[in-house]
Amino acid sequence: MKTVRVAVVGAGVVGFSTAVCIAEALPICSVTLLAEKFSPDTTSDVAAGMVLAEVFPDIPLERQRRWFKDGFDHLLDIAQSEHAPEAGVLLTSGCQIFKEVPAEMKPFWSDIVIGFRNMTDLELKRFPNHKFGQAFTTLKCECSIYLPWLEKRFRKAGGRVEQRKVNSLQELSNNFDIIVNCTGLGSRTLVGDNQVHPIRGQVFKMEAPWLKHFIRDGDGMSYIYPGIHSVTVGGTKQVGDSRLQLDQGDSKSILERCRKLEPSLRKAKVLEPVGLRPGRRSPRVEKELVELRGRQVPVVHNYGHSGWGVSFAWGTARDALGLVRQCLHEMPLQAKL
Ligand SMILES: Cc1cc2nc3c(=O)[nH]c(=O)nc-3n(C[C@H](O)[C@H](O)[C@H](O)COP(=O)(O)OP(=O)(O)OC[C@H]3O[C@@H](n4cnc5c(N)ncnc54)[C@H](O)[C@@H]3O)c2cc1C
Ligand SMILES: O=C([O-])CC(=O)C(=O)O
C-alpha cells in the first residue's frame, strides 16, 4: 500500500530522473511531480546533452566521480538497448582540444568514458591553433526526446504529474509528507538560495548530417556536437545574464568560432534556442527539515547543476533517493501507516 506522499518539484532532467528513481525504488511512496514548465520548455531541452564534466569546487571528487559514473552507466545501458532511439541517447566519439596544455591533462572522468587517449600530432594538425587534445567516446542525451521518455517511465511506475507553479513550499505542506526540490534556477526564489544564478547559453541546432564526430574547445566556449536530427553548435556562458531572447552578436561569434574548427558548417540553421543554466558554485544535494504551517517537513534538495545537469542528473538523483530513504527512516511511525 502506498502511504507516504512525496512531491518532486521540477520537470527538467534532474526532476524527472529523481522522480523515476524514487517511484521505481520505493513502492511505499506515492510520487507526484509538479512543475511550472515541461518539455520542450525547460532549460534541459536546450542542453547540448553531452556527458562531460568540469570539477565542482565544494564536492569531494569521489562523490563527483560516483555521480558521473552512475549517469554514464545508466545512459550507456539505454544507448546500447532497443530503447536508444525513443529515449534520445547515443554514443558519440570525438575530441576535446586545447590552445595550451591544460594543468589537468587527465580529467576525473577519463577512465569512465570509453577509450580516452591523448591525440597524436597528426590528428592535431587539423587544428593549427591548438597544442593538445584528447580523443574519447562518450554519450549524448537529447533531453527533448529523453524527458518525454522519462515521463512515460515515471507514469509506468505509478507516478503522477501536475502542471503548476509552486509559489512557496507552504502550499505543499498539507498534501505531502516529503518534498523534493529539483527546481534548478527556480530555487533562487522558491527556497531563497542567492547562490543560484543564471548562466545564459545560446546555441544553434544545425542541419549538417555529414558531421559524425564532436569537437569541443577545452575553454568550453566553442563546441560542435552531432546528434540524432541536428548538430548542436555553441556556445555562450554568460554569468548573471537572464535574457532568453536571441543575441545576433552571439550568433555571429558562435558561427565564426565554430567554422574555424569545422569549415563545413555552412548549411541551414534550424533553430537558435537560448537556455539559462542553473548556475551555482556546486550543486546542492542535501536534506533539511523545514517548518511549514507549524509542521517539520523533510525537504530534499537536488539543484544547481550549472552546465552539467545532464551528465550528473542520474547520479545526483540516486543520492536524492538515498536522502528520501533516510527521511522515511526518521519519520514518525504514524506518518507511514
Ligand atoms: C546551451 C546549453 C548547453 C548545455 N549543454 C549541456 C551539456 O552538454 N551537458 C550537460 O550535462 N549539461 C548541459 N547544460 C546544462 C543543463 O541544461 C542543466 O544543468 C540542466 O538542464 C539543469 O536541469 P534541471 O532539471 O536542474 O533544471 P531545468 O531543466 O531548468 O528544470 C527546472 C524545472 O523546475 C521547474 N520550476 C522551477 N521553479 C518552479 C516553481 N516555483 N514551481 C514549479 N516548478 C518550478 C521548471 O518549470 C522546470 O520544470 C547545458 C545548458 C545550456 C543552456
Ligand atoms: O560546455 C559544454 O561542452 C556543453 C555544456 O555543458 C554547456 O554548454 O553548458
pLDDT of 270: 87
Tell me the CATH number at 206: 3.40.50.720
Closest ligand 2 atom to residue 234 Cα is: 8
> Using a 6 Å cutoff on CB, does residue 312 contact ligand 2?
no
What is the number of structural domains in the chain?
A: 1
Beta strands in the chain (DSSP E): 4-9, 29-35, 89-98, 114-118, 132-141, 160-163, 178-181, 197-206, 214-217, 223-226, 231-234, 238-239, 269-271, 274-279, 284-292, 295-303
- The packing angle between helices 13-25 and 143-156, to 10°, is 20
Higher local confidence (pLDDT), 267 or 84: 84
> Using a 6 Å cutoff on CB, does residue 36 contact ligand 1?
yes
284 marked ligand binding residue: no
* Sequential DSSP letters for 233-294: EE---EET----S--HHHHHHHHHHHHHH-TT--S-EEE--EEEEEE-SS-EEEEEEEEETT
Interface predicted TM-score of the whole assembly (ipTM), two decimals: 0.99
Q: Do residues 249 and 131 lie in contact, with contact meaning Cβ atoms separated by under 8 Å?
A: no
> Using a 6 Å cutoff on CB, does residue 302 contact ligand 1?
no
- What would the pLDDT profile of 280-337 be if each residue is shown by its tens digit? 999 999 999 999 999 999 999 999 999 999 999 999 999 999 999 999 999 875 555 5
44 marked ligand binding residue: yes
Q: Which of 223, 237, 306, 310 to mutate to test the pocket of ligand 2 (most atoms within 8 A of CB)?
A: 223
Tell me the C-alpha distance between 304 and 285, whole Å: 9
Confidence class of residue 206 from pLDDT cuts 50, 70 and 90?
very high
Is the pLDDT assigned to residue 128 strictly greater than 60?
yes
Q: Which grid coordinates belong to 97?
A: 582540444
List the beta bridge partners of residue 97: 133, 217
Q: ∠ CA(326), CA(29), CA(12), 5° rounding?
A: 85
Q: Do residues 142 and 40 lie in contact, with contact meaning Cβ atoms separated by under 8 Å?
A: no
Tell me the C-alpha distance between 191 and 193, whole Å: 6
Structural domain harbouring 149: 4-336
Confidence class of residue 266 from pLDDT cuts 50, 70 and 90?
confident
137 marked ligand binding residue: no
Quick one: average pLDDT of 99-122?
96
User: Which region holds residue 240: left if phi is over 0, alpha if psi is between -120 and 50, else beta?
Assistant: left
Confidence class of residue 93 from pLDDT cuts 50, 70 and 90?
very high
Quick one: average pLDDT of 45-56?
97
Q: Which of 275, 224, 230 has the alpha carbon at shortest distance from 254?
A: 224
* pTM (2 d.p.): 0.97
Nearest protein CA to atom 7 of ligand 1, as residue:
49
pLDDT of 43: 98
Mean pLDDT of the chain: 96
- What would the pLDDT profile of 156-179 be if each residue is shown by its tens digit? 999 999 999 999 999 999 999 999
Q: Which of 153, 31, 25 has the alpha carbon at shortest distance from 88?
A: 153
**The amino acid at 160:** R
Report how far ligand 1's centroid is from the alpha carbon of 184 (Å).
Answer: 6
Q: Looking at residue 108, what DSSP letter applies? A: T
Confidence class of residue 15 from pLDDT cuts 50, 70 and 90?
very high
